[in-house]
Amino acid sequence: MTNLARAVAVTACSIALGATAPAEAAPIDGGAEYVALGDSGAATTGVRNFDVTAPPRCLRSTANTPKLIARDLGLRLDDRTCNSARIPDLAAAQQPGIPPQFEALGPGTRLVTVHIGANDALMAEHIVACHVYGLSGVGGCAGADWASAIDAIAAPYATALQQISALAPQAMIVVDGWPTYVRDGGCPELVGLRPSDAAPIQAAFDHLNTVVARVAAEHGATYVDTRAASVGRDACAPVGVRWIDPVIATETLLPYHLTPLGMRGVADVILPAIRAAGPTG
C-alpha cells in the first residue's frame, strides 16, 4: 500500500479513535422526553462544535441533527448518539464510560430518533477499500460480501426497534436514512476513487436505506428519506453547499460524514415528519 493509500485509510477511519469519559447519568423521571440514538452519522460534526460534556470517544457535537431538532421543537433531549456505535451498543455498554444508549428510554419518552447501522454494515471498511484499490490500481470496489453485510443488519435492527417500543411505549420512533454521498463519476476531492467506483458506493448507501426503510415500516417506525433532499449536495459539491465532507475534509476532518450544513439539512427533512405526527403537542 502506498503512503497516500495509507493516509486515505487512516483519515477515513480516524473517527474510530478517541478517549473515554465517565458514564452519563441515567434518567430519573421515567425516560427523557426526547432520546436520540445512533452512531457518528447523527453524533458528530468532527472538529466543529465539539460537545465537551459528552464522552470524548463519542465525538458528539453541539450542533448535530438531534440537538437541532430538540431546539426547534422545544424538547428536553438526552443525546446518546456516539461515534463508532453499532446496533448492539444500543442495548449494551459500548465501552467503559459509554453506557447502553437504551438507558435513556422510559415510559415518559415521547420521541426517539434512530440513525444507526452503517458500522454494522461495514460501510467504512468497504469505502476505504474502494479508495485504496483506486490508488493502487489493484482490485475491485464493490462485491457480494458488501451487499451481504448490509442485508445482515435487518434482523438486529428489527430487534432494536422492538426493544425501543417496549422501553418507550408512548414514543414516536423516527428512523432517518443516509443522504446522497457521492455523485456518478466522483470528483478529485474523493482522493483515489476511480470514476467507475463512485456509483457502487452510492448504490451501497441506497441499499442500506432500502433495508432500514423496510424494517422501520414492518415495526411501526416512521422512516424519513434524506436522499432526495441531498441530491446535488454530496461530497463533490462546493463548500457551503455540500452536506458530506469528502476525503479532503475541509469542514470536519471526517471524510464521508455530515458537515454542519448537512446536519441542519437532515434536521430540516426530519422535522416535518415529526410535526405531522404531533408527538410534541
Catalytic residues: 40, 257
Residue 247 near residue 191, CB atoms below 8 Å: yes
Rg (CA), the chain: 18
Report the DSSP pairing between strands 111-115 and 172-176: parallel
Buried b (16+ CB within 10 A) or exposed e, 142-181: beeebeebbeebeebbebbbeebbebbeebbbbbbbbbbb
Largest Cα separation within the chain, whole Å, is 57
Beta-bridged to residue 34, according to DSSP, are 77, 111
Separation in Å, CA 242 to CA 68, 114, 250, 281: 18, 23, 11, 33
